[in-house]
Chains A and B, each alone.
Chain A
């Protein structure tokens, strides 16, 4: 593997008395699709907010391509090539799909024509071309997820943070979306994704980090992680790993 594009170094984030993330460290290899998974409330969204700059960590550093970006503002990180989508979609409601995507495209293209041309190109990559001149409000849930993705892509990122882009989609919509995400990786963009749709995580990711109660409890390939006893316990409760093993043995 090449050098990590993103390096999270023992990040802790507390909100008042609540510790959302506890000394979490992990890295993301350049060019990979890396997953960040964990049960609800594990601190994944907080971790994303820290990486993108929406939250400042209480302790720890975030390094991006070797440089410390911990104190940088959100828009500065976007300029450096970190883009994110939001779990709860945040369309610019009063604008058309094209104008929505163009806001992202403007980051590297001052001229309106260039930004709009790039917006159309990005829309075709995520399958939004027929909706370009419709209001963002007219989009379905799946469409809005695609719009989130398109806007982030339009900033021409090097590292793309995807916060549950598959959540709320039906199985056929997920099947449509998976190849889109893979094609983004193939175009040279590194992807870090938070996702609950396990089947997609397992098929997309080369590497997975597991966050539970704010701590990184495991990391590795999808196959190793899914067999890790601590991971199974985190998802299914204390003692689950043993019981599952017992069931396996009984079957054998």
Chain B
């Protein structure tokens, strides 16, 4: 069972790595790169909420921190992006730890925790929009200087493979956590906090560890967003869109499973893109936001017919990843 799951991660990684060799169109490549970034953010949410049961509505706080740290370390401090990347991820983890310490120490659970994370993300968005250090409402622009040493790739496949390496790393990390004592404690905390404490689980420490790891993954997603688009403003970095994407993908794909966020992000973004292009073909004009309607419908369908998410419909996959919980 356990070998099957490491194996399935390897197979998925190989298939995804081969993708740009089969489909070389830039549109397709941009799409899968973006889906990879969302998967990374969603995997972060999945560790905290899917495994740990702490539902955050504000993962934008971590995504934005990662994205802005990545941008500002380069623009303001002149750091090389390869050096800025790990620092930005650490800063993201620190922000996660601080938000976690403030809210978990105050014993916020359930919807209260969700609302507080939403508030933190909004505060960060407003601050970022107001401060001149972050570029204010105009945002920040990363100067275009293409070069592998500068993490700006002529060959867009390299960016995709870089993001994919992190996605695969996140899959392995999630799988390893699910099979560890920390993972068992995390799931126990989700299922019943008092019972977990009675069995010797330091639930506060477990939740803090989870939100830190979660924030680091989501911050990494923010870093790659910055390197992909080379432009950021507060609405992109800290806007609710990413909080929603980060939670929708695991819910649709399957919370508390290794592959849930990947499957969910693929399904959501794929259907969204499909709808946009079909709609554009039919009416001859773009309809911004039409994909959000699809997201909403998919969420309703998932909750109504597949509460375990898409992974819940795929038995063998589920057994291999769930067995690790």
Most buried by B among A74, A107, A111: A74
Distance between Cα atoms of A121 and B180 in the complex (Å): 20
Which of A10-18, A25-33, A83-91, A234-242 lines the interface with chain B? A83-91
A106, B191: Cβ atoms closer than 8 Å? no
Q: Does A102 contact B (CB under 8 A)?
A: yes
Distance between Cα atoms of A106 and B194 in the complex (Å): 16
Q: Mark B118-138, 1 if CB is under 8 A from A, else 0.
A: 000000000000000000000
Q: Mark A69-107, 1 if CB is under 8 A from B, else 0.
A: 000011100110001101000111111000100111011
What is the chain B residue whose CB lies nearest that of A54? B194
Distance between Cα atoms of A110 and B182 in the complex (Å): 9
Q: Does A158 contact B (CB under 8 A)?
A: no
Q: With contacts A75-B201, A75-B202, A75-B203 known, is A103 near B194, CB below 8 A?
A: no
Kindly identify which residue among B184, B198, B203 contacts A106, using a CB–CB cutoff of 8 Å: B184
Least CB distance from A8 to B in Å reads 18
Which residues of chain A are near B195, meaning CB under 8 Å? Answer: 86, 90-92, 151
Q: Mark A214-228, 1 if CB is under 8 A from B, else 0.
A: 000000000000000
User: In chain B between 162 and 203, which residues have their CB closer than 8 angstroms to a CB of chain A?
Assistant: 179-181, 184-185, 187-188, 190-192, 194-203
What is the chain A residue whose CB lies nearest that of B198? A84
B181, A92: Cβ atoms closer than 8 Å? no
Most buried by A among B179, B198, B201: B198
Q: Does B325 contact A (CB under 8 A)?
A: yes
Q: Does A192 contact B (CB under 8 A)?
A: no
Q: Does A126 contact B (CB under 8 A)?
A: no
Which residues of chain A are near B179, meaning CB under 8 Å? Answer: 112
Count of chain A to chain B residue pairs whose CB atoms are closer than 8 Å in the complex:
79
Distance between Cα atoms of A111 and B184 in the complex (Å): 11
Kindly identify which residue among A52, A95, A106 contacts B181, using a CB–CB cutoff of 8 Å: A106
Q: How many residues of B contact A (CB 8 A)?
A: 22
User: In chain B between 195 and 234, which residues have their CB closer than 8 angstroms to a CB of chain A?
Assistant: 195-203
Distance between Cα atoms of A141 and B192 in the complex (Å): 18
A92, B198: Cβ atoms closer than 8 Å? no
Q: Does A208 contact B (CB under 8 A)?
A: no
Which residues of chain A are near B202, meaning CB under 8 Å? Answer: 73, 75
Least CB distance from B122 to A in Å reads 32
Q: Does A46 contact B (CB under 8 A)?
A: no
Which residues of chain B are near A155, meaning CB under 8 Å? Answer: 199-200
Distance between Cα atoms of A102 and B184 in the complex (Å): 8
Q: With contacts A54-B194, A95-B191, A103-B188 known, is A78 near B199, CB below 8 A?
A: yes
Distance between Cα atoms of A24 and B125 in the complex (Å): 55
Most buried by B among A75, A83, A99, A152: A75
Q: With contacts A75-B203, A83-B199, A112-B179 known, is A92 near B185, CB below 8 A?
A: no
Q: With contacts A99-B325, A106-B185, A115-B181 known, is A92 near B203, CB below 8 A?
A: no
> Which chain B residues have a beta carbon within 8 Å of chain A's beta carbons?
179-181, 184-185, 187-188, 190-192, 194-203, 256, 325
> Which chain A residues have a beta carbon within 8 Å of chain B's beta carbons?
52, 54, 73-75, 78-79, 83-84, 86, 90-95, 99, 102-104, 106-107, 110-112, 115, 151-152, 154-155
Q: List 24 A-B contacts (CB under 8 A).
A: A73-B197, A73-B202, A74-B197, A74-B198, A75-B202, A78-B199, A79-B200, A84-B198, A90-B194, A94-B187, A95-B187, A99-B184, A99-B187, A103-B185, A104-B199, A106-B184, A107-B199, A111-B181, A112-B180, A112-B184, A115-B184, A151-B195, A152-B198, A152-B199
